[in-house]
């Protein structure tokens, strides 16, 4: 029997009717019009369907939509609303993606990593993105872009802090 769930999706309150057995990935794409989570393996192996659920990466192919009632979901559509983030810009500069199928999941996994570890090592980036498979690249440009974005964010924070300290 259908149930109406309420969730916060990319900053907006949304409600949607779901069947008890519908997975979140299908509901996002087919009922809520959010297409960035991709349909890959559908068994938790590839990371193409990655979302942020209450701020943590999650596989939307493994979660029943009904379980997300009352929770917050962020997809790539929600993090780039003011234009591309510095992380996304770094991915572009490094030509990190080719077909882009893996990109939304990688962007979200890297976003979460930089929030909890702003200056990751290459090994830490590889571990954080280990569940996001890419068929096209050798991963190195992806890793380099994440490290660069972390360093750039630190420079921005320092510049802001110095500007505040110098303000009259
Ligand atoms: Fe969900 Fe592959 S489609 S992990
Ligand atoms: Fe094609 Fe990653 S760029 S799967």
13 and 80 Cβ atoms separated by less than 8 Å? no
Domain boundary among 79, 95, 126: 79
DSSP H or E stretch at residue 89:
helix 86-93
My answer on whether 71 and 9 are in the same domain is yes
Min mean pLDDT across 36-40, 53-57, 138-142, 155-159 is at: 155-159
My answer on whether 22 and 39 are in the same domain is yes
Atom 2 of ligand 2: nearest residue by CA position = 134
9 by DSSP, 3-state: which? Answer: strand
My answer on whether 62 and 125 are in the same domain is no
Q: How far is the CA of 40 from the centre of ligand 1 (A)?
A: 5
pLDDT of amino acid 12: 97
> What is the number of the ligand closest to the CA of 100?
2
DSSP string, 91-157: HHHTT--SS-TTHHHHHHHHHHHHHH-SS--HHHHHHHTTTS--SSS-SHHHHHHHHHHHHHHHHHH
Q: Is the C-beta atom of 109 inside 6 A of ligand 1? A: no
Judging by DSSP bridges, how do beta strands 56-59 and 12-18 pair with one another? unpaired
My answer on whether 153 and 93 are in the same domain is yes
Strand partners, 53: 56, 73
pLDDT of amino acid 157: 78
CATH code for the domain of 122: 1.10.150.120
Q: Is the C-beta atom of 102 inside 6 A of ligand 1? A: no
My answer on whether 68 and 93 are in the same domain is no
Is residue 54 predicted with pLDDT exceeding 80? yes
My answer on whether 97 and 144 are in the same domain is yes
Q: Which of 99, 105, 145 has the most ligand 2 atoms within 8 A of CB, as the residue to mutate?
A: 99
Domain boundary among 59, 79, 99: 79
Domain boundary among 52, 79, 106: 79
Query: Total structural domains in the chain?
Result: 2
My answer on whether 54 and 13 are in the same domain is yes
For residue 66, the enclosing domain spans 3-79
Judging by DSSP bridges, how do beta strands 56-59 and 3-9 pair with one another? unpaired
How far apart (Å, rounded) are the C-alpha atoms in residues 17 and 74? 19
Mean pLDDT computed over every residue of the chain: 94
């Amino acid at each position: 029997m259908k149930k109406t769930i309420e969730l916060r999706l990319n900053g907006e309150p949304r409600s949607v009717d779901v069947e008890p057995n519908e997975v979140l990935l299908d509901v996002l794409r087919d009922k809520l019009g959010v297409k960035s989570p991709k349909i890959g393996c559908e068994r938790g192996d590839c990371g193409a369907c990655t979302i942020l659920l209450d701020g943590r990466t999650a596989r939307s192919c493994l979660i029943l939509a009904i379980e997300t009632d009352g929770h917050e979901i962020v997809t790539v559509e929600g993090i780039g609303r003011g234009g591309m983030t510095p992380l996304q810009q770094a991915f572009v500069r490094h030509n990190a993606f080719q077909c882009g199928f893996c990109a939304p999941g990688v962007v979200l996994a890297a976003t979460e990593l930089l929030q909890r570890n702003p200056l990751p090592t290459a090994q830490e980036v590889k571990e954080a993105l280990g569940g996001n498979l890419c068929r096209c690249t050798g991963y190195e440009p992806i890793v380099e872009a994440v490290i660069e974005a972390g360093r750039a964010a630190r420079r921005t924070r320092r510049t802001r802090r110095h500007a505040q300290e110098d303000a009259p």
